[in-house]
Each structure stands twice: as structure tokens, then as C-alpha cells.
Amino acid sequence: MDYVFDFSFLESFRSEIISGVRLTILLTVVSILPGFALGTACAVGRLYGPRWLQTAVTIYIEAIRNTPLIIQVFWLFFGLAVLGARIGPFNAAVIALVINTGAYSAEIMRAGFQAIPKGQLEAANCLAMTRRQIFWNIQLPQAAELVYPALVSQFILMMLATSIMSQISVEELTGVGYQVQSITFRGFDVYLVIAALYLALATMLRLCLHGAAQLAFTRLRRLRTPL
Amino acid sequence: MTVISMNSVHTPVAPQTGVQPMVSFRDVHKSFGALEVLKGIDLDVMPGQVAALIGRSGSGKSTALRCINGLEKINGGELTVCGRNLRARDFELRDLRKEVGIVFQSYNLFPHLTVEQNVTLAPRKVNGLDAAQSRALAAEVLEQVGLSDKALSYPEQLSGGQQQRVAIARSLAMRPQLMLFDEVTSALDPELTGEVLRVIGKLAAGGMTMVLVTHEMAFARQVADLVVYMHQGRVWEAGKGTMLDDPQTVELRQFVGSGL
């Protein structure tokens, strides 16, 4: 093979690529925490809520997990616009990511809550703690710790899934890559670079989440238990 | 005040004073679905007394114990604990549980918290102790169970006997009037059983009112003021520890003779 690499686009499209990376990071960062919070709330609703709430949450989770993210985004962006609700492409993208991540992390957190031995909750009840105190001090920290590796995977999948958002003109990294490729016709080189950038971003996100775990889970840090 | 039941032999156990019993069962019934587990229990435990519930598996002794702090709801009769009628309309379970500690066979410690945090979580959240008060409290109760040097350890770093002593300390930190022990040594080997029983024995000597479900006959005979033999959901025979040497019923004779 006598293919000659040409990475000169890195120089000529530098600012576009940087803004694409920024937008990908921004979409990820603003969606993770609300998505996780929504998921946790849904897990609690599905496990401990009244029957109507359990049903509502189950419908939400299954509807989201069994339809493509891109259809969810289109529906939010184009569908709501038809009804006269214009929320803008960036907002549509973030809302879709939060709703999507919420549904998946709800199931992950549900597994975490269910993995806590019932005896602990009985003991906490017998110590006269309220349900709220038990949730915040005993259930949430342990559930999050138990399923943390699965949550990390989910958040990284979510970051990678931001790559479809250029479909509604949110010009994140993949969107920028497509533009550069369509101007330079250097598809091989361009997408190699884009892939490398995603790999770097995913690694950074993994490291950040690992650092967060070290801060949040004191016991793991002190006992040097791997997650 | 005598303990009365239909078809069993009893020794009067409660002293004849004006003091109210700490725990009082009156014809208590409890069913799980169609299965009646408690078929009319009568039992008094006076302040400062140690009562040991013994009997075969399925005799209802653990269920009776769990009724005392409302882990099981009774279906019939009267149950009064620390002056509170558990079936009264204004009965508040959390108020009762501030006064009644319980220790389980499976320890049920919070694995993500240190020993000190396990012990102080409820005092801080429920009783509103501040950091300094709770640290002093932890030091005090850990001293009582002989684990002062383990305050900063995590449960997984401790032996079963040590974990069970932490569980005892965690209950003591709520300053209970009454302590319940549900087969707390059943998961431990004989050596570790000894260290836990010594702690319980010390508490008994200190005047703590206790109800314990146990398979440790020698221990029951030694520390209990009142030994209650349960059989088929009834108090079959009750009395001082010496009753084990001279059983009045065939069932208790068989039970003691089986070497448990």
C-alpha cells in the first residue's frame, strides 16, 4: 500500500476541531449528573414508589431503552417544533441525553439498591432512623459504589452517543469531522484523528470518574480496593 | 404477677413489687398467613432482668423477640414494651426503637462506614449529636465491647466476633433501656462465641434489661434471671436457670437431653 497520510487539515481546521471537541465535552458534562440524578430517582420510584409511579417509571424506562436515541432527539427537536415548542438544537440534544441516560442508569441503580442486604435496612430501621436518613446514608452510597463500573460504562457510552447530535446541527466532534472530510476528501486520515480524539476523551472521562470514585468512596480509597 | 398459660408448667418469675415490667406479653398471637407461630404468649420481663428464650427451631422464640421492637406486628393480645402499648392508636414505632436496641445473628453492620461511623450514625442523625459528642460516645461504647483500637477499621477488616461486638456497641450508642439479642452467636465459632458472650454477660452484670434468643444453654443458665422454654408457639416452661436441671415437662427434658 502506498497511501500517504496527510494531516495538514489539523492545522487548517484547527479551530473547528477544537470547538467540536469542546462541544462534545460540554454535552457530556452537562448531561451526566442530571442523567444520573434522574436515573436514581426513577430507580427509587420503581422500587419503593406507589403502584402508579412504578408503572409510570417502568413505561418511561422501557420506552427509552427500546427506541433509538436519534429518534428521541428528532422527536424532541423536530416533533416538538411542529407543536410550536422550539427548544433549540443544543437544548434538545442535552434533554435527549439526560432522558436517555436517566433510563439506563435507573436500571443500573435499581440493581445496586437491590444488592444491599435487607438486614442492613432492618438494622437501620431498628436504630430509629427515618427512611430519608436510611436512603442518603446507607442505601445511596452503597448502591452507587456497587454499580459504579456499570455507571462509568454507561456515561462513556453516552459521551460516544453525542456523536449523532450533528444530525440536528449540533456541530460536535463527529459533525466537524464530517465537514472537514467533505471539504478535504481525506476521510481515512480525518476519521482516524476523530477516533483518536474520542479515545482520548473517553480515557479522560474514565480517569475523571475514577478520581470522583476515590473521593466519594472513602472505604475503597483507604483499603485500596479496586473498583 | 404470675405467668399463665393453658397447657404448660410455670414458675412465678416477676417479683411482687409496684415496678412495671419492661416487656409484657399478654395472650399474644402472631400468624404468618395461615401459620400461627405464636399461640398466646404470656411473659413479663422486669427492669434489670435478663430473659433467655430457648427452644427448637420453629418454636416461635425469634418471632416473639422480633415482636418486642415491632419487627413483627402481633395479631392478637397485648404487648407492652417500655411502657408503650404496641397496639395503641397513638403508638409510634420510632419512639419505641429509640429505647430498644437489637443485635442480629448476621451483624448487619454498614460495610461502607468505619466502626466509629457505624456506631455514631444513628446517634448523630436520630439524636442530633455533634461530631465531638459522637466521638466521645463511640469511644465509650467501643471501650465497653473491648474494641477501642478498631474505631477507624472497616467491618470487612474485623473477625466475626469483633463485628458482632461492633453491632452491640452500635445498639448501646442509642442508650437503650432494653436490649434484644437474636441468636447473636449462631454464626460464630466457639472461640469467637466466647468473646461475644463475655460482652453480653458484662452488660447483664451492669443491670441492662435484656431478652435473648440463644442456643447457648450454659450461657442461658448462667446469666438469665428467667429462662423461657418455648414449644409450638407457646411458653411451655419458664423459670430460673436451674429449671434446666429439673425439667417439669417431657418436651423440655427431651430438649435439654438432646445436648443443645
Q: Domains along chain A? A: 9-223 (1.10.3720.10)
pLDDT value at position B19? 86
3-state secondary structure of B222: helix
pLDDT one-digit tens code per residue, A101-149: 999 999 999 999 999 999 999 999 999 999 999 999 999 999 999 999 9
* B259: closest CA of chain A, how far (Å): 30
Q: Is A84 on the interface with B (CB under 8 A)?
A: no
pLDDT one-digit tens code per residue, B94-132: 999 999 999 999 999 999 999 999 999 999 999 999 999
All residues of chain A having their beta carbon less than 8 Å from the beta carbon of residue B114 are: 219
Residues 109-168 of A with CB under 8 A from B: 117, 119-120, 122-130, 133, 137-138, 141-142, 145
* B111: closest CA of chain A, how far (Å): 8
Gyration radius of chain B over CA positions? 18
All residues of chain A having their beta carbon less than 8 Å from the beta carbon of residue B170 are: 123, 127
pLDDT value at position B1? 42
Count interface pairs A-B at CB distance under 8 A: 69
**Closest in A124, A130, A142 to B112, CB measured:** A142
Tell the burial category of A19 from Cβ atoms under 10 Å away from its Cβ (0-12, 13-18, 19+): middle
3-state secondary structure of B126: helix
* Most A-contacting residue of B65, B119, B125 (CB-CB within 10 A), to test interface: B125
* A208: closest CA of chain B, how far (Å): 22
Distance (Å, rounded) from C-alpha A98 to C-alpha B106? 40
The interface predicted TM-score (ipTM) is 0.89
* B112: closest CA of chain A, how far (Å): 6
All residues of chain B having their beta carbon less than 8 Å from the beta carbon of residue A125 are: 97
* DSSP per-residue string spanning A133-165: HHIIIIIHHHHHHHTHHHHHHHHHHHHHHGGGG
User: Which residue type is seen at B3?
Assistant: V
Q: Cβ A124–B125 below 8 Å, yes or no? A: no
**Closest in A122, A129, A219 to B112, CB measured:** A219
pLDDT one-digit tens code per residue, A159-214: 999 999 999 999 999 999 999 999 999 989 999 999 999 999 999 999 999 999 99
pLDDT value at position B245? 87
